[in-house]
């Protein structure tokens, strides 16, 4: 990782201007902001890709979406691309991008019993697992998976100014890079820029204040909140979220400032990260990750292992 004095200067500028990012937090007390423990986060596409685009193009767009965050110049975190493999989304230390084509539900696993299905309005869901025990490692992200709704959405490449491709019947159109760049923001620990029914109680902005309601954004904050990559909603075929704004990047730089680079670039070792006092704890005891299903708040207590973000168009 090469960071120059110029990059550090950029960080100062970005931090000074920052005004519209929200970091995902644990649920202990007022919550600790979440962050990955290492310098790198490996992300792997499921090799099945999407039926909407050639696989090579899907994988290329995934890499482009990752690069949209990596080129920020002010944080140490690097999203690293793992070669596509047959893999589903589970809490297993492997961060997967999985296109759902049979049903818009998470497969049953120890964290999802019974099966959890998502809103048809959600183009994608990112589940972030983090330590939630109030100890020093509280908020450490252990695993994050992106599930993409290929049942209700047709994923395309929008060319600004050109006629958009025609979606499959009964589906909405979505620019894949636009969708994935947003979801990768969640994967890194960012939450949405305004508060809606799916927001988490501990969400606060960079000043420690609850973000404004999406239905009542102050006039002087409308642009920065709605034009951010981490804005809650997307319109069909939009591409604005491909480019993280200065505020989005300020959130990443707040979480991963170059001065605190742990210089540790490895794949996730869940056993090591959930170890306490020389005794490894079970994955679902007090060192367990937690989450609240953003879509289904009524199930929050039954499902305490998932944290999801929905993205509506």
Q: Which residues form the interface with Zn ion (CB under 5 A)?
A: 309, 311
Q: For residues 174 and 240, is the Cβ–Cβ distance under 8 A?
A: no
Least Å from the CB of residue 180 to Zn ion: 11
Q: How far is CA 88 from CA 108, 128, 182, 271, in A?
A: 11, 15, 20, 20
Angle at 19 between CA 33 and CA 258, to 5 degrees: 55
Residue whose CB is less far from Zn ion, 137 or 252: 252
Residue whose CB is less far from Zn ion, 146 or 273: 146
Residue whose CB is less far from Zn ion, 177 or 311: 311
CA nearest 195: which of 223, 228, 217?
Answer: 217
Residue whose CB is less far from Zn ion, 52 or 311: 311
Minimal CB distance to Zn ion: which residue? Answer: 309
Supply the DSSP string of 194-213, one letter for each residue: SB-TT--TT--BTTSSPPPB
Least Å from the CB of residue 188 to Zn ion: 12
Torsion of CA 159, 162, 164, 166, to 10 degrees: -130
Residue whose CB is less far from Zn ion, 7 or 297: 297
Cis, peptide link before residue 114, omega less than 30° from 0: yes
Angle at 53 between CA 155 and CA 119, to 5 degrees: 30
Dihedral sign computed on CA atoms, order 111, 115, 117, 123? positive
Task: Please count the other Cβ atoms lying within 10 Å of the Cβ belonging to residue 53.
Answer: 19
Least Å from the CB of residue 122 to Zn ion: 9
Least Å from the CB of residue 259 to Zn ion: 29
In 88-152, DSSP assigns E strands to 95-100, 105-106, 116-117, 122-131, 141-149
Residue whose CB is less far from Zn ion, 159 or 243: 243
Residue whose CB is less far from Zn ion, 92 or 196: 196
Least Å from the CB of residue 248 to Zn ion: 12
End-to-end CA distance of the chain: 36
Residue whose CB is less far from Zn ion, 90 or 309: 309
Least Å from the CB of residue 285 to Zn ion: 29
Q: Rounded to 5, what percent of the chain is helix, strand, coil? A: 25, 25, 50
Least Å from the CB of residue 311 to Zn ion: 4
Residue whose CB is less far from Zn ion, 234 or 283: 234
Task: Please count the other Cβ atoms lying within 10 Å of the Cβ belonging to residue 91.
Answer: 23
Least Å from the CB of residue 309 to Zn ion: 4
Task: Please count the other Cβ atoms lying within 10 Å of the Cβ belonging to residue 82.
Answer: 14
Least Å from the CB of residue 282 to Zn ion: 30
């Amino acid at each position: 990782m090469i960071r120059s004095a110029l990059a550090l200067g950029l960080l100062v500028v970005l931090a000074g201007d920052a005004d519209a990012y929200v970091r995902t937090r644990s649920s202990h007390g007022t919550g600790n902001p979440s962050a990955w423990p290492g310098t790198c986060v490996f992300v792997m596409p499921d090799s099945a890709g999407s039926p909407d685009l050639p696989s090579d193009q899907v994988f290329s767009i995934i890499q482009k979406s990752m690069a949209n965050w990596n080129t920020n110049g002010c944080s140490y975190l690097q999203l690293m691309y793992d070669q596509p493999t047959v893999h589903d989304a589970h809490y297993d230390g492997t961060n997967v991008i999985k296109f759902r084509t049979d049903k818009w539900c998470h497969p049953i696993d120890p964290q999802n019993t019974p099966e959890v299905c998502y809103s048809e309005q959600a183009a994608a869901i990112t589940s972030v697992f983090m330590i939630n025990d109030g100890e020093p490692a509280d908020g450490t992200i252990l695993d994050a998976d992106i599930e993409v709704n290929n049942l209700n959405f047709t994923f395309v490449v929008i060319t600004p100014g050109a006629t958009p491709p025609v979606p499959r019947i009964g589906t909405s159109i979505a620019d894949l890079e636009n969708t994935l760049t947003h979801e990768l923001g969640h994967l890194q620990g960012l939450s949405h820029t305004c508060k809606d029914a799916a927001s988490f109680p501990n969400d606060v902005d960079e000043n420690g204040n609850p973000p404004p309601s999406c239905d009542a954004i102050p006039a002087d904050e409308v642009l920065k909140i709605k034009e951010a990559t981490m804005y809650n909603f997307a319109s069909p075929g939009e591409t604005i979220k491909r480019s993280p704004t200065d505020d989005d990047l300020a959130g990443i730089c707040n979480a991963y400032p170059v001065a605190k680079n742990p210089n540790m670039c490895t794949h996730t070792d869940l056993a090591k990260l959930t170890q306490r006092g020389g005794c490894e704890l079970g994955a679902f005891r007090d060192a367990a990750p937690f989450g609240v299903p953003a879509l289904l708040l009524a199930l929050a207590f039954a499902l305490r292992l998932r944290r999801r973000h929905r993205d509506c168009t």
